[in-house]
Amino acid sequence: TRTPVNVTVTGAAGQIGYALLFRIASGQLLGADVPVHLRLLEIPQAVKAAEGTAMELDDAAFPLLAGIDVTDDVKRAFDGTNVALLVGARPRTKGMERGDLLEANGGIFKPQGEAINAGAADDVRVLVVGNPANTNALIAKSHAPDVPADRFTAMTRLDHNRAIAQLSKKLQAPVADIKKIAIWGNHSATQYPDIFHAEVGGRNAAEAVNDEAWLRDTFIPTVAKRGAAIIEARGASSAASAASAAIDHVHDWVNGTPEGDWTSMAVVSDGSYGVPEGLVSSFPVVCKDGKWEIVQGLDIDAFSQERIDASVRELEEERDAVRKLGLI
């Protein structure tokens, strides 16, 4: 039998955590033959609720679930961890300035980066879901100098999946036929979902759509503002779809992207496509042998470049703000 993989989930008592944990324990994160040991991190006042979720996980009698620890101790949560899903974050409340939000999240992601640096397993892989996810990942990475920078990623897979869903509806094509969607930039309203390289049943997606007004005025804003539309409809933010995207992100990172396709991940830039080195920005990536690589050599036209640049500018502003606060 294989040694269990340690998977840490922060904010485990939250909405996303509730949807995510059951899918991890059932084997959908790493594979149907990989046992997992869960570490649930919560703030002290939510530990009891996380213990309740742990009771339900016990009651599901998942054959792959080797154990569960619930803790409010950051060091314990990340000790020996192989996969860290950083979901818990300080939400933006009404009237909160961006600087306050970044500072509050610095107080969460700095100690988590330090704990990962000090105690995580050598193969640790980190996915930041909690918003502002790109910049939270940048903060955590900055406090983990001994961990290779490419192990820190942030989630734009939900945006990627949303773009596939919208395109599938527009073209009445099955989602399985849609390949090579790309999300560029920040996981925020400035993100750029790009269909110019996408394929639908082997045909170029932008040509199949052949409707620039739809692309500009419907597709891009629908994908970018889908979170708000879900809140409006459900009365609560997207949780199951976010959890599903987190599963997809780590699954593909570890097990590889399918041949002839790629995915979108926010990763540390190497300067590709004019994105300043060191920023955690979303790119199309291919994953193989447990590593991601930015897809190179794509032709980016003026329409796309303008949108990528705008989102990257926002990331630079966030980086400058957290630098000013001494968080990186």
Catalytic amino acids? 187
48 C-beta neighbours (distance < 10 Å), count: 11
Q: Closest CB to ligand NDP belongs to which residue?
A: 14
Please tell me whether residue 11 binds ligand NDP under the rule CB under 6 A.
yes
Taking CB under 6 A as the criterion, the residue among 106, 193, 227, 284 binding ligand NDP is: 227
CB of 92 to ligand NDP, least distance (A): 6
CB of 43 to ligand NDP, least distance (A): 5
State yes or no: residue 15 binds ligand NDP (CB under 6 A): yes
Residue 85 contacts ligand NDP per CB under 6 A:
no
The DSSP output letter for 130 is S
Shortest Cβ 57–ligand NDP spacing (Å): 16
Q: If binding is defined by CB under 6 A, does position 185 make contact with ligand NDP?
A: no
Complex with ligand NDP: residue 137 or 158, whichever CB lies closer: 158
Helix (H, G, I), strand (E, B) or coil at 325: coil
Cβ-proximal residues to 238 (8 Å cutoff; 6+ apart), any chain: 158, 226, 227, 230, 231
42 binds ligand NDP (CB under 6 A): yes
Is the bond preceding 193 in cis, omega lying within 30 degrees of 0?
Answer: no
CB nearer to ligand NDP: pick between 88 and 193: 88
Q: How many whole angstroms separate alpha carbon 250 and alpha carbon 127?
A: 8
Q: How far is the CB of 245 from ligand NDP (least distance, A)?
A: 7
Beta strands in 157-262 (DSSP E): 178-179, 182-184, 192-194, 199-200, 203-204
**213: Cα separation from own chain's centroid:** 29
Pick from 238, 263, 281, 304 the residue near ligand NDP by CB under 6 A.
238
Interaction of residue 286 with ligand NDP, rule CB under 6 A: no
- Indicate the residue among 237 and 255 with the shorter CB distance to ligand NDP: 237
Residues in 109-168 that interact with ligand NDP by CB under 6 A? 129-131, 133, 158
Nearer of residues 154 and 195 to ligand NDP, judged by Cβ: 154
Taken as a whole, the chain contains a residue count of 328
For position 224 contacting ligand NDP by CB under 6 A, the verdict is no
Distances (CA, A) of 87 to 60, 94, 275, 317: 22, 21, 25, 23
Q: Near ligand NDP by CB under 6 A, which window of 51-59, 60-68, 94-102, 237-245?
A: 237-245
Contact between 11 and 42 under an 8 Å Cβ cutoff? The reply is yes
Using CB under 6 A as the binding rule, whether residue 268 contacts ligand NDP is answered as: no
Is the CB of residue 121 less than 8 Å from the CB of residue 80? yes
Give the separation between CA 186 and CA 171, rounded to whole angstroms: 27
Per-residue DSSP letters for 61-123?
T-TTEEEEEEES-HHHHHTT-SEEEE----PPPTT--HHHHHHHHHHHHHHHHHHHHHHS-TT
Residues that bind ligand NDP (CB under 6 A): 10-11, 13-17, 41-43, 46, 87-91, 108, 129-131, 133, 158, 227, 237-239, 242
